[in-house]
Amino acid sequence: MTRPIPLADQDNVGAILDQLTAGLRVILRQRLVGVYLYGSLITGDFDSGISDIDLVVVMTGELDEARFKALHQLHQHVVERFPDWDDRLELAYISSAALRSFRQQSSTIGIISPGEPFHLLRAGADWLISWYALREDGVSLVGPPIQSLIDDIPASDYLEAVGEHIRNYRDSVKKPHNKSALSYIVLTVVRGIYTLSHRRATSKIKAAHWAKRRYPQWAELLESALRWRANPDCDLRTAEQIRPEVADFVNDMLSQLTRLDDCPAET
């Protein structure tokens, strides 16, 4: 069943989706299988000033050079018309065959995401978290239900992938040079801990509010991370000054993983 999409007129989200889907139909024509919306617009906590628009475009084959260039122009035209959405469109272009077989082999997909230009990369089983979320929550704007294009992914496999993913932030916390990136790490890790605690996903905002109650020693950092997400300049400290506390938080959260593996899901 198709779920309603919560769009506010003032956000221009509906107009952006209309322009993108119309452009995709023209550029891809018979190669277009479907266009799927997922992320915070579907699951909740969408913030028109911060959140991204998350779309997956499924095609009959991989992108060729001509269509890649045409799609790049389409993305540019959208942000020229809606400049507030510059660097806030997150689109993945993948063939139906690659989506079906992603656990067995890697394929070339097209990606545009915040902080990165439109580019090609190889993706396979390392994208399980994204494709699980897409299969669970994706809404079809064009094409058949997304569940018909992605084989069932056991929840246990998803939870294992979440644990592996957040473990990588022990090293990643050493790299960011701005507060927005540190906020992303804090909120991504805490969302992973929530997911593993409850055996189900939630938004970063809901996970942060849960964790403030569950781990009161980190409540102040979590509240700061929510503020950095909206406005990094609200905190006069530099990223280098904040980084040690974020690293301690990540280490503490990751130390919970063994316990979470052995405990029943929280309610």
Q: What is the chain's mean pLDDT, rounded?
A: 91
**What is the per-residue pLDDT across 6-28, written as a single tens digit (0 to 9) for each?**
554 446 888 999 999 999 999 99
Percentage with pLDDT > 70 across the chain: 93
Can you give the pLDDT at residue 51?
85
Task: Please report the pLDDT score of residue 3 as a whole number.
Answer: 43
Residue 82 CB partners (closer than 8 Å, separation 6+) = 12, 15, 16
Question: Mind giving me the DSSP string for 12-35?
Answer: THHHHHHHHHHHHHHHHGGGEEEE
pTM score, whole prediction:
0.90
Half-sphere exposure in the Cβ direction for 107 (13 Å, CA): 20
Q: Is the pLDDT of residue 115 over 80?
A: yes
Percent over 90 (pLDDT), the chain: 76
- The residue ranking higher by pLDDT, 254 or 5, is 254
Q: Give per-residue pLDDT as tens, 29-78.
A: 999 999 999 988 887 778 777 889 999 999 999 999 999 999 999 999 99
Tokens standing for residue 65: 């050079």
SS3 101: coil
Tell how strand 32-38 and strand 53-59 pair up.
antiparallel
Tell which wins on pLDDT, 36 or 263: 36
- The pLDDT assigned to 262 comes to 59
Q: What is the mean pLDDT of residues 177-203?
A: 93
Q: How confident is the model at residue 206 (pLDDT cuts 50, 70, 90)?
A: very high
From 91, 183, 163, select the one nearest 134 (Cα to Cα).
Answer: 91
DSSP state of 61: S
* Res 267: pLDDT: 62
Q: Quickly state the pLDDT bin for 119 (edges 50, 70, 90).
A: very high
Tell me the CB-side half-sphere exposure of residue 235, using CA atoms within 13 A: 23
